[in-house]
Amino acid sequence: MSAYDRLTDQELTTLLKQGDNQAFTAIYHRYKGVLYLHAYKRLQSKEDVNDLIHELFTTLWQKRDELNITQLSGYLYTAVRNRVLDCIARKQTESNYIQAFQQFIDTGEAVADHRIREQQLAAVIEQEIASLPAKMREVFELSRKAHLSHREIAERLDLSELTVKKHVNNALKILRGRLTIILLLISLLSS
């Protein structure tokens, strides 16, 4: 146990504002576990929660001298809650865009210009899928194109269901990031 572990939150906060690395480390170790659990209850995604916690502590360090923290635990819990709400809102927005895009594709009422863009976008999506790592691509295509369940894919490829789920989630995360940028550019160009 280090001397920093015995300090109060207020003492650690004061040292943090002075740029003390060890105080930051003590705060991190004191709160990362409970903040992780707090965020995981809402998000149910280890990757999202790990990213959120990392971002929170990075911001805490980078803005340490600007922060007005009266109660450290309250500040951290509020910051996690706000980031969780932002994450949920972002995912909902992404989902709405994907649903709207899928609905657009399904209606088939697009004019020739839109059909050309749709074909170009479909080609870009296929390129992005093709650029995924081989095993991830194979799992993703079995899930999304062959409509197999995680269990069926796991049995077919002799993988665990958890591995299949990770491959699908990682593929979706990669594709969302790449396609969000592409969709934004297309919408800007068509305006």
pLDDT digits (tens, 9 = 90+) for 39-82: 999 999 999 999 999 999 999 999 998 888 889 999 999 999 99
Q: What is the pLDDT of residue 101?
A: 73
Give the separation between CA 26 and CA 9, rounded to whole angstroms.
10
C-alpha gyration radius of the chain? 22
Strand segments, DSSP code E, in 47-170 are none
Domain ranges across the chain: 3-90, 110-190
pLDDT in tens, 136-170: 999 988 988 888 899 999 999 999 999 999 998 98
Top-level CATH class of 3-90?
mainly alpha
Report yes or no: 56 and 83 within 8 Å, Cβ to Cβ: yes
pLDDT surpassing 80 at residue 109: no
The structure tokens listed for 118 are 């749709």
Q: What is the pLDDT of residue 14?
A: 93
Q: Per CATH, is 110-190 categorized as 1.10.10.10?
A: yes
The structure tokens listed for 113 are 């210009």
- Do domains 3-90 and 110-190 share one topology? The answer is no
pLDDT surpassing 80 at residue 110: no
CA angle 74, 80, 83 (to 5 degrees): 140
DSSP codes joined into one string, 166-188: HHHHHHHHHHHHHHHHHHHHHHH
